Structure 1
Amino acid sequence: MHTQTVQVGDRVVTTYKTGQYIAEVVEVNPPKSVVKILAVRKHPAQGDLHHPMEVDVPLFHQRRALSYQEKIVVMLAELKPYHGEIPAYRDSLQAALLAEIHVLERTIRWSQRALEEYRQLEKDYFGGP
């Protein structure tokens, strides 16, 4: 959003530490603004962001979603206008969390099936039990 178009009270979408949120602008101080969280669109990612898909890392981060009405400072350039219905915070949090769980469950199932196929190919190529 252009800094001239952002006003206190505007409803926006913003990303913060891998999560995405619907928020309300409560303060504008270019080039930054303060927003109040109203709903969760995407739950923050888990694990070490510098080593994605690795589990054997010194610290596997657990990231919680921002809380209802929590205020954060974001760059104005990160804000996008939001004009839709705003879901209840708890409902949005549950939907965002379940969406991430679903993606990981599908990844697990796919990985297991792909591994079975690779094991079969290994037998076909090189023999074995």
Structure 2
Amino acid sequence: MEREQGHKSSQAANETLQPGDPVVAEYKTGVYIGELVELIPGKAKVRVLAVVKHPEQGNLHVGHRTDVSMFHQRRALAFREVANMPLASVRRYTSEIPDYYPSLQGAIRREIEELEERAKWARQSVESLRELQGEYDRQYAR
């Protein structure tokens, strides 16, 4: 019931949107700023004008795994490309719309930096866990 109410409230918020309105919306794992083209049941057709978050790479069905049959390279939606985005993810955008290419550059740079930080964290975590593994072996192995 709560989920239905949340869906209804997001529908009500989206009913005030009109074609031509600037919006921000999620598409798969990317986030885009664009222009609302059309509202259709459960979806919004959005013309992409800028990129907020670059899509994640890899197989989305088995997230963050590299041992998959196909590691998908996912491109950001192109400038002025129209995509059917989930209506629940569409919100009015009220700030200045950045130019597409600089926004794309920023989004991919942030995605790379985040992945590099996660890789550093993963390496440090593995090192810490191996130290703990040795301590556990010394403490509990008989």
Uncovered stretches (5+) of structure 1, i.e. residues with no partner = none
Identical-pair percentage:
46
Deviation at 1:29, TM superposition (A): 4.2
- Aligned-partner SS, 2:15: coil
Which residue among 110, 120, 126 is the counterpart of 2:131?
120
Deviation at 1:27, TM superposition (A): 2.9
Which residues in structure 2 correspond to 1:53-72 (within 5 Å)?
Answer: 53-72=64-83
Amino acid at match of 1:27: E
Which residue among 57, 60, 64 is the counterpart of 1:49?
60
TM-score by length of 1: 0.86
Task: Provide the C-alpha distance between the structure 2 equivalents of 1:74 and 1:48, rounded to a whole number of angstroms.
Answer: 20
- Aligned-partner SS, 1:73: strand
1:12 aligns with 2:19: no
Which residues in structure 2 correspond to 1:79-90 (within 5 Å)?
Answer: 79-90=90-101
Map Cα deviations across residues 63-118 of structure 1 (whole Å, 9 max, x no partner). 10000111112344432000011111111111111111111111111111122222
Bigger drift between 1-10 and 61-70 goes to 1-10
- Aligned-partner SS, 1:58: coil
Uncovered stretches (5+) of structure 2, i.e. residues with no partner = 1-10
TM-score by length of 2: 0.79
1:24 aligns with 2:45: no
Deviation at 1:30, TM superposition (A): 4.8
The alignment of Structure 1 onto Structure 2 pairs a total of residues equal to 127
Deviation at 1:41, TM superposition (A): 0.7
Map Cα deviations across residues 3-56 of structure 1 (whole Å, 9 max, x no partner). 531212100011111111001012344554322101011111111112112111
Amino acid at match of 2:59: D
Would the aligned equivalents of 2:51 and 2:76 in 1 still touch at CA under 8 Å? yes
Q: Name the structure where helix makes up a greater proportion of residues.
A: 2
Amino acid at match of 1:33: A
